[in-house]
Chain A
């Protein structure tokens, strides 16, 4: 019933608004563990997600996308910024300001799918206990009802409920990720942060699990934050895509805009890495030189300038703001208006 309500009308008010979110990890050293610096894992990220939308978040390893997801769910305490969550009844809560004990009710509605299906399931728990754990923690139900709900969830994600007494090590990676999905869904969440949920799976299994996630999203009326390191994973399921680089959002726009009209050189490089569907097309790969800079000591000015092939002197001196270049298309580049960047599938 609840699903029908949320499904029935498309609501474009944002379920989640993040303003200038920062997460700095202190770097401690020495005998007395003094703070000697900060890793700026997430450094001033702003975005909003409308209800029932899918926002894809992409970036290289170490760009802060996992930290962003965990900070939104308050697995990490944010250093600064606002996380405004609109509940089912329309009340808006700043998750970032909540004291720890007050977060628990929101943990029903905001859930996470973990990246690694091997380490995210306790090896000492049988599947039933793993899936039922949120129900037990939130005191939702117990006994036979609990077992029935676990069985129903297992069926829904494509697992045989007869296996509920087995241990995770008896399952394959794809099956384990389905167990994780069942655990995520068991409290009827509204917002799910998927932290690269398919990256640890075989390519053949990836599509199955992705399709399942999309199906469940429709069925349960979910809003998804889908984190991935690979544009090709998010391009098919996302309504909008946010590109992150060294803790900052460098471009955010609807999916066709990002892919068809990228405005940031880093997005261009990511797009060029997507394998084309047509084997005859030989795309011009843009190989970025060097590594992602350390978030403990990010470069001056535009964080991307040391690896940018269009960099000009101003790039190392002034930090570009994320600005609306076209309606609904935001980019953080000094030359977003003038650069001619390659879109998806284009040959140079």
Chain B
């Protein structure tokens, strides 16, 4: 063998490998191709991404420290960024006026009004209160803020004078992580139960389906409330978080189980499952190598469509005050004060975290729709 032979040999082998891998696309590549072409999926994905970024880096997006309690600033209405000042002069850089309060002599209600004596202009990348990025790196940098001495409450403040915008961003951490955890647990349970039910059929299937019917026939809200009510009040907030995850998972798996069962039932009829039996494959192999991968796309869709339900349920429980407890905050928890109709009547903006909930629910629904379309790339050949 001469050394000059070697390069040709290598090239030809590389050519063979190229030919073998030509046009080879795995399932997830195909799924991605179709998913990225879907407009609702892109919009939904973007919405979720925005919320995740806002939640993870909420301090960076918050001009005022959302955990700082200032009783004096209780229930400040949302401040607007304005270009035209009280005298009618136009300013290129938007600014805010600070809010000052007077007490109505008759009703003794607090009335907030603009203090037009001093403008505070908007600044990007300001350095103000200190925080830790992701809880690790100390930083003072914020995306935006107003000049020293001014305040910027984009969504107003709550009872304790904390900035609702910053708090809502931060609440996304709990609301999103709780629902994603709960959905992962519930979909895992649902997928396993569904596969067992659909694969073994017969009595097992009958028993599981009757159990599911029994569970879904409970009115969900009283059941959640009853379960949440048995949480001992002295429990620390992290344990409460875990218990909430378990509660939602325990009650949310039924939908997944039914959907997966249906899929497995239909795949169980197909010849490739029969062929696997004919080769002597074990039940475990048929379930995990054949039925599960084929149902996976479906499971992912159910997963994204179940998240909004859990976000809403969590918001509801926390709104009632039987869910997440301080110091953790969730979107529903932020609106707890809105239970009091009098408070709500004079401070409507305390409902503003709803915007986040709507945004999240819509985003996950769009995402799920797009995934549903992309889930069966083999349907179009």
- Please measure, in the bound complex, the distance between the C-alpha atom of A250 and the C-alpha atom of B23, giving whole angstroms: 52
Does the CB pair A116–B20 fall under 8 Å?
A: no
Beta-carbon contacts of B271-287 to A below 8 Å, as 1s and 0s?
11011111111100100
Interface of A is mostly: loop
Q: A114-B271, A169-B381 are known contacts. Are A122 and B278 too (CB-CB below 8 A)?
A: no
Q: Is A203 an interface residue when CB atoms closer than 8 A count as contact?
A: no
In the bound complex, residues from chain B placing their C-beta under 8 Å from that of A119 are: 270-272
Q: Is B8 an interface residue when CB atoms closer than 8 A count as contact?
A: no
B interface residues, tally (CB under 8 Å): 27
Does the CB pair A107–B294 fall under 8 Å?
A: no
* Most-contacted residue by chain A among B21, B278, B293 (CB, 10 A): B278
Q: Which of A158-166, A275-283, A302-310 lines the interface with chain B? A: A158-166
Does the CB pair B274–A75 fall under 8 Å?
A: yes
- Please measure, in the bound complex, the distance between the C-alpha atom of A122 and the C-alpha atom of B295, giving whole angstroms: 12
Q: Which of A42-50, A133-141, A206-214 lines the interface with chain B? A: A133-141
Which among B23, B271, B378 is the interface contact of A115 at CB below 8 angstroms?
A: B271
- Please measure, in the bound complex, the distance between the C-alpha atom of A166 and the C-alpha atom of B279, giving whole angstroms: 22
In the bound complex, residues from chain A placing their C-beta under 8 Å from that of B276 are: 122, 133
Q: Is B206 an interface residue when CB atoms closer than 8 A count as contact?
A: yes
- Please measure, in the bound complex, the distance between the C-alpha atom of A165 and the C-alpha atom of B20, giving whole angstroms: 7
Does the CB pair B19–A107 fall under 8 Å?
A: no
In the bound complex, residues from chain A placing their C-beta under 8 Å from that of B272 are: 119-122
Which among B279, B282, B378, B381 is the interface contact of A134 at CB below 8 angstroms?
A: B279
Beta-carbon contacts of A90-131 to B below 8 Å, as 1s and 0s?
000000000000011001100110111001111110100000
Does the CB pair A103–B280 fall under 8 Å?
A: yes
Does the CB pair A122–B294 fall under 8 Å?
A: yes
Interface residues of B in 237-290 (CB under 8 A from A): 270-272, 274-282, 285, 290
- Nearest to B291 among chain A residues (CB) is A122
Q: Is B27 an interface residue when CB atoms closer than 8 A count as contact?
A: yes
Does the CB pair B206–A137 fall under 8 Å?
A: no
Beta-carbon contacts of B1-38 to A below 8 Å, as 1s and 0s?
00000000000000010011101110100000000000
- Please measure, in the bound complex, the distance between the C-alpha atom of A164 and the C-alpha atom of B20, giving whole angstroms: 8
Does the CB pair A75–B277 fall under 8 Å?
A: yes
- Please measure, in the bound complex, the distance between the C-alpha atom of A167 and the C-alpha atom of B378, giving whole angstroms: 10
Which among B24, B206, B274 is the interface contact of A114 at CB below 8 angstroms?
A: B274
Does the CB pair A104–B280 fall under 8 Å?
A: yes
> How distant is A125 from chain B, measured CB to nearest CB, in Å?
8
In the bound complex, residues from chain A placing their C-beta under 8 Å from that of B274 are: 70, 75, 114, 120
Instruction: Please provide the 8 A-B residue pairs with the shortest distance between their CB atoms, ordered closest to farther.
Output: A120-B271, A107-B280, A104-B280, A122-B272, A134-B279, A119-B271, A119-B270, A124-B293
6 new A-B contacts, CB < 8 A, other than A115-B271, A120-B270, are A114-B271, A119-B270, A121-B275, A162-B19, A166-B23, A167-B378
